[in-house]
């Protein structure tokens, strides 16, 4: 049966809205970190149970799912309509202290529970012992930057000036940081406010849109398995973990098997947590695994919770792939994550993925790193000249 | 209507009692031994007239907390600009928002009358840990403020009586000891709520008009008394100086210079000529600097109630960009005891030229020994311990009085933690904790003896324990006055009695520590007052009997000859020695 055009539009609408949120975050921010270097903004739309219905990138699927489910399950404080909750806590479903997530609960007419629009970005600095957060001597998360547990930064339609000011006070680049946060909040509120209207214009019931979004992903999954593009002989496959300084920090070990239609990746044989900042949170590990299994260039447009549910990732706490509080994790993307991708790829018989992130941060000739450092220093000087009052 | 002075005095004392009650609430409900044992916090009642904040009353308090809190109150009021509501509780800590250093949290609760916040009961306390790269917050390698701990801009912890759970969780998440932080923070909030209750009862009893008139009386009374004192001092310019050993970042001998100018009933305190701000974490904010200045004047004018009226005649100038008024984002983590002590000493040094019979050391010189590790007795729970026993003595001699006890008078709100409680709360075993012979700074009235501590760790300490040591006043010890000698200086020895033994005269960072690795600390006493050769020989004999001074020390430092067998003073020999005998030296 041919897909019904309106249904297709409805399915694509959520994904398109995620793209729009990412663009707002990127364009509204003054940060080269977002716009030029990492191209790292992300966005998602989640339902009332915290399931991700659409996401801008598979890379960000796991953390969005994690934080959205935590919000849906209930935070320690009431989240009123027209509020935005901000967090970065690696041990609260996040990835690293510089990775921020903004969650905006949205009343969608006809939907069960409150949906959520969510955005993410990587900040340039959040205090800690090293400018830019990458602290090779860190043995605890506090040496990397401030932990932001779920915090209302936008409440009842207005800026929560004091909490926003306190968060930005802990950044060496407050002007840059404020612009990023404002862009994220603008993204989730702008799209959130349109959500009901867009779905109504499409004549779509929120529940059925959500269901179709998830079904589309499931169909993709089934097709992929029939093509044999998932699964291999199962491993175990091992990949070494190296820090950005090239030091050996242990190894990631993956065993893969298919079980009842799900792919099971067992990483419990991975090395114990390293003393330094190369460890990954479980969320980072799952993200890395998904990036291999559902590469962006192979039409995994419907990145949502179905992809997560199709893969069971087994980790042991206090290993390099499942860091526990208060382990530092800033270098996970450069160390453990590539090793996870490599090991998963080998275990399921796929090709070696490209490690785009490494080059963007620490280019072989150091040029990008220097340029970024110069920008951050200039921004700090401008912030200091303004008297360090980020709320003004 | 003229104020009824008796009622005004009752109200003044009532407010001081409120401060004491806040303090007792804190002491009895806080979790950390920093509060319930050492009493390292301060409480007071503040007032805001719509333009300016004033300190009205304080409990026995730490000067570096309570006086500096005044700027925090002003900052909170300015920041919220009419957005304060009944039931709010506000916190601030950032040094560049009126604070001192990141671990000092100030919590305040506005008391409203007719829709306006008028009174602010408050608590300022040194939190055991506020995140940052180094446990305990003393990061001697910090080169900017972000390397010291979580910075708190003014935030409402309670809004209209409702706990803001997200704010609470945020603050606790940025501490290595979250359970302790929760308990201590709750105690601070509870203290403020007690304060609010009592102030409301006061207003209900006397009426707001009488209370506000009394406020003005309280402030004017102190102002008048201090101006009367100032007027009795000879007009002129008086200079003082104190030198900080080092900034822990490569700069040695950092001078703090002050000029006090007395002109009639007015007085200025000018720190021009002080060293520029430094790379290390000993820079001071104006609030901290002012607190140490006020403390010295409180010491030389002990009969004047200390409140904002007391501060009015004292005009301070802290030149921007100097170590006494550092600009953001300079690190300030050790300002409360390091450069703060030198600010106080320089001021007292200048005051010595004005009121010599009133001066003495009113400063504190903590050598910081921070130990972190895990304790098997408590499920290998992480602990952070600030060992006050490493540096408990700084009381100087003053005219007519030897230094006694432990810390200097204005810091006597700080209690010495008992050895027993330290051993309960941390896996320590103290081998020695006592006054040390021949370490009291000689003077006609001597300083308190220095203190020697030897500490071991028990087998309950898990293997990866570490200690950070920050020594101050090693080369530039606490000053003597009017011819009295300075203190003997501080130092620490790690791994005492082993081949790895190492004497620390400046700092050590994350040095391994555990069972069998003895830590020794010498804490100097405060300086002496007056010429040691004028000390009453019988007093020297008492010191020898008490083993504060040796027979040799009595001869060397005081020119007093004592028979080593009978411990009696040989008065002829003493007279002869003092009149024309050899030079005496303090070789302690």
pLDDT tens-digit series, residues B250-295: 999 999 999 999 999 999 999 999 999 999 999 999 999 999 999 9
Cβ–Cβ of A172/B146 closer than 8 Å? yes
Contact B384, B136 (CB under 8 A): yes
Closest CA to A86 of A190, A192, A180, A18: A180
Structure tokens at B97: 């928002």
Could A388 and B170 be called an inter-chain contact, meaning their C-beta atoms sit closer than 8 Å? no
Residues contacting B162, CB < 8 A, separation 6+ = B87
- Tally of CA atoms within 13 A in the half-sphere of A212 that contains its CB: 19
CB B525 within 8 A of CB B440: yes
Name the band, by pLDDT with cuts 50, 70 and 90, for residue A371. Answer: very low
A143 with B155: Cβ contact below 8 A:
no
Quick one: average pLDDT of B199-205?
96
Task: Tell me which chain B residues have a C-beta less than 8 angstroms from the C-beta of A140.
Answer: 176
Q: Rounded to an integer, what is the distance from CA A348 to the centroid of its chain?
A: 24
* pLDDT, averaged across chain A: 79
Contacts of A128 in chain B (CB under 8 A): 132-133, 146-147
Question: For residue range B347-356, what is the model confidence (pLDDT) as tens digits?
Answer: 999 999 999 9
Yes or no, beta carbons of B166 and A326 under 8 Å apart: no
Question: Do the chains contact at A169 and B144, CB–CB below 8 Å?
Answer: no
Euclidean distance between CA atoms B554 and B537, whole angstroms: 9
Share of chain A above pLDDT 70, in %: 73
Q: Which of B572, B573, B565, B562 is nearest to B539 (CA)?
A: B562
pLDDT of amino acid B222: 96
**Which three-class secondary structure state does DSSP give residue A30?**
coil
- Which DSSP helix (H) or strand (E) runs through B119? strand B116-126
Q: What is the token pair recorded at B9?
A: 């005095």
> According to the model, what pLDDT value does residue A224 have?
56
Q: Average model confidence (pLDDT) for chain B?
A: 93
Q: How far is B585 from chain A (nearest CA, A)?
A: 47
Contact state of A142 with B152 under an 8 Å Cβ cutoff:
no
The tokens for A374 are 């110069």
Longest CA–CA span in chain A (Å) reads 65
Q: Euclidean distance between the first and final Cα of chain B, in Å?
A: 63
Length in residues, chain A? 392
Which of B97, B131, B171 would you mutate first to test chain A, the one with the most A CBs within 10 A? B131
Candidates A183, A191, A147; CA nearest to A44 is A191
| Sign of the Cα pseudo-torsion (A178, A179, A184, A186, in order) | positive
Provide the whole-model pTM. 0.88
Give chain B positions within 8 Å (CB) of A174.
none
Residue of chain A whose alpha carbon sits nearest to that of B382: A326
pLDDT mean over A119-137: 89
The predicted-structure confidence for B6-45, as pLDDT tens digits, reads as follows 999 999 999 999 999 999 999 999 998 888 888 889 999 9
Question: Per-residue pLDDT tens for A233-260?
Answer: 555 777 777 655 556 668 899 988 887 7
Is residue B170 within 8 Å of A148, Cβ to Cβ?
yes
- Is residue A36 over pLDDT 70? no
Residues written for chain B: 588
Cβ contacts below 8 Å, chain A against chain B, sum to 87
Q: How confident is the model at residue A193 (pLDDT cuts 50, 70, 90)?
A: confident
Cross-chain residue pair A169–B151, CB shorter than 8 Å: yes
């Amino acid at each position: 049966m041919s897909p019904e055009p309106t249904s297709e539009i409805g399915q694509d609408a959520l994904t398109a809205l995620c793209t729009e949120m990412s663009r707002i975050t990127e364009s509204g921010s003054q940060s080269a970190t977002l716009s030029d270097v990492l191209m790292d903004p992300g966005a998602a739309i989640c339902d009332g149970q915290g399931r991700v219905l659409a996401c801008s990138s598979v890379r960000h699927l796991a953390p969005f799912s994690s934080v959205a489910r935590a919000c849906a399950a209930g935070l320690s404080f009431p989240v009123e309509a027209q509020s935005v909750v901000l967090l970065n806590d690696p041990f609260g479903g996040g990835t690293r202290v510089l990775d921020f997530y903004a969650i905006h609960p949205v009343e969608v007419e006809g939907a069960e529970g409150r949906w959520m629009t969510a955005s993410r970005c990587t900040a340039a600095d959040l205090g800690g012992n090293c400018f830019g957060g990458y602290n090779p001597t860190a043995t605890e998360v506090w040496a990397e930057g401030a932990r932001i547990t779920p915090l209302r930064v936008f409440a009842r339609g207005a800026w929560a000036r004091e909490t926003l000011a306190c968060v930005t006070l802990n950044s060496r680049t407050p002007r840059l940081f404020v612009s990023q946060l404002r862009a994220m909040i603008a993204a989730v509120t702008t799209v959130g406010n349109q959500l009901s209207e867009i779905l109504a214009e499409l004549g779509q019931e929120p529940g059925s849109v959500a269901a179709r979004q998830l079904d589309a992903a499931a169909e993709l999954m089934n097709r992929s398995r029939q093509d044999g593009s998932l699964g291999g002989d199962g491993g175990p496959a091992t990949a070494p973990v190296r820090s950005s300084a090239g030091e050996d920090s242990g190894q990631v070990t993956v065993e893969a098997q298919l079980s009842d239609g799900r792919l099971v990746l067992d990483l419990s044989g991975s090395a114990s947590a390293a003393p330094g900042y190369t460890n990954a949170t479980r969320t980072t590990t799952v993200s890395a695994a998904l990036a291999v299994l559902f590469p962006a260039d192979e039409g995994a447009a419907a990145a949502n919770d179905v992809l997560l549910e199709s893969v069971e990732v087994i980790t042991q706490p206090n290993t390099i792939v499942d860091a526990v509080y208060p382990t530092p994790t800033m270098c996970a993307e450069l160390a453990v994550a590539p090793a996870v991708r490599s090991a998963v790829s080998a275990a399921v018989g796929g090709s070696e993925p490209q490690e785009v992130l490494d080059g963007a941060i620490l280019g072989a000739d150091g040029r990008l790193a220097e340029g970024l450092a110069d920008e951050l220093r200039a921004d700090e000087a401008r912030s200091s000249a303004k008297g360090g009052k980020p709320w003004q | 209507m003229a104020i009824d002075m008796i009622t005004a005095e009752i109200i003044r004392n009532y407010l001081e009692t409120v401060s004491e009650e806040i303090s007792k609430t804190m002491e009895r409900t806080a979790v950390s031994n920093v509060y319930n044992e050492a009493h390292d916090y301060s409480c007071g009642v503040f007032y805001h007239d719509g333009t300016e904040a004033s300190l009205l009353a304080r409990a026995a308090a730490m000067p570096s907390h309570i006086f500096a809190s005044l700027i925090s109150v002003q900052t909170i009021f300015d920041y919220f600009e009419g957005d304060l509501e009944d039931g709010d509780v506000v916190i601030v800590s950032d040094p560049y928002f009126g604070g001192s250093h990141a671990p000092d949290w100030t919590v305040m609760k506005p008391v409203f009358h007719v829709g306006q916040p008028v009174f602010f009961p408050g608590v300022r306390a040194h939190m055991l840990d506020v995140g940052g790269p180094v446990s305990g917050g003393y990061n001697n390698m910090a080169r900017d403020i972000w390397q010291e701990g979580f910075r708190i801009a003014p935030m409402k912890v309670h809004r209209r009586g409702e706990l803001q759970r997200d704010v609470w969780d945020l603050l606790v998440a940025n501490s290595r000891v979250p359970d302790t932080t929760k308990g201590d923070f709750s105690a601070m909030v509870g203290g403020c709520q007690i304060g609010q209750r009592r102030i409301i009862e006061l207003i209900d009893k006397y009426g707001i008009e009488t209370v506000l008139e009394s406020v003005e009386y309280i402030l004017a009374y102190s102002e008048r008394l201090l101006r009367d004192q100032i007027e009795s001092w000879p007009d002129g310019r008086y200079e003082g100086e104190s030198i900080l050993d080092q900034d822990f970042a490569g700069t040695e001998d950092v001078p703090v210079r002050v000029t006090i100018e007395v002109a009639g009933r007015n007085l200025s305190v000018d720190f021009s000529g002080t060293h520029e701000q430094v790379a290390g974490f000993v820079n001071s904010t104006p609030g901290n600097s002012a607190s140490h200045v006020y403390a010295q004047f409180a010491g030389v004018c002990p009969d004047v109630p200390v409140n904002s009226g007391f501060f009015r005649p004292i005009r301070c100038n802290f030149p921007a960009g100097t170590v006494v008024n550092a600009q953001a984002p300079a690190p300030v983590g050790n300002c409360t005891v390091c450069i703060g002590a030198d600010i106080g000493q320089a001021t007292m040094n200048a005051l010595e030229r004005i009121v010599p019979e009133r001066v003495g050391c009113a400063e504190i010189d903590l050598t910081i020994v921070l130990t972190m590790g895990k304790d098997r007795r408590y499920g290998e729970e992480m602990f952070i311990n600030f060992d006050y026993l490493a540096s408990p003595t700084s009381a100087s001699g003053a005219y007519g009085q030897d230094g006694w006890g432990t810390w200097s008078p204005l810091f006597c709100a700080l209690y010495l933690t008992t050895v027993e409680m330290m051993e309960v709360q941390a896996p320590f075993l103290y081998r020695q904790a006592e006054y040390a012979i021949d370490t009291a700074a000689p003077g006609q009235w001597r300083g308190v003896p220095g203190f020697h501590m030897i500490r071991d760790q028990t087998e309950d300490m898990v293997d990866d324990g570490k200690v950070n040591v920050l020594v101050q006043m090693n080369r530039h010890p606490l000053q003597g006055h009017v011819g009295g000698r300075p203190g003997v200086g501080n130092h620490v020895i790690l791994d005492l009695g082993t081949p790895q033994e190492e004497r620390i005269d400046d700092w050590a960072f994350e040095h391994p520590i555990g069972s069998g690795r003895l830590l020794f600390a010498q804490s100097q006493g405060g300086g002496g007052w007056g010429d040691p050769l004028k000390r009453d020989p019988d007093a020297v004999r008492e010191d020898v009997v008490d083993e504060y001074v040796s027979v040799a020390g009595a001869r060397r430092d005081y020119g007093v000859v004592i028979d080593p067998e009978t411990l009696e003073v040989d008065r002829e020999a003493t007279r002869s020695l003092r009149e024309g005998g050899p030079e005496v030296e303090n070789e302690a």
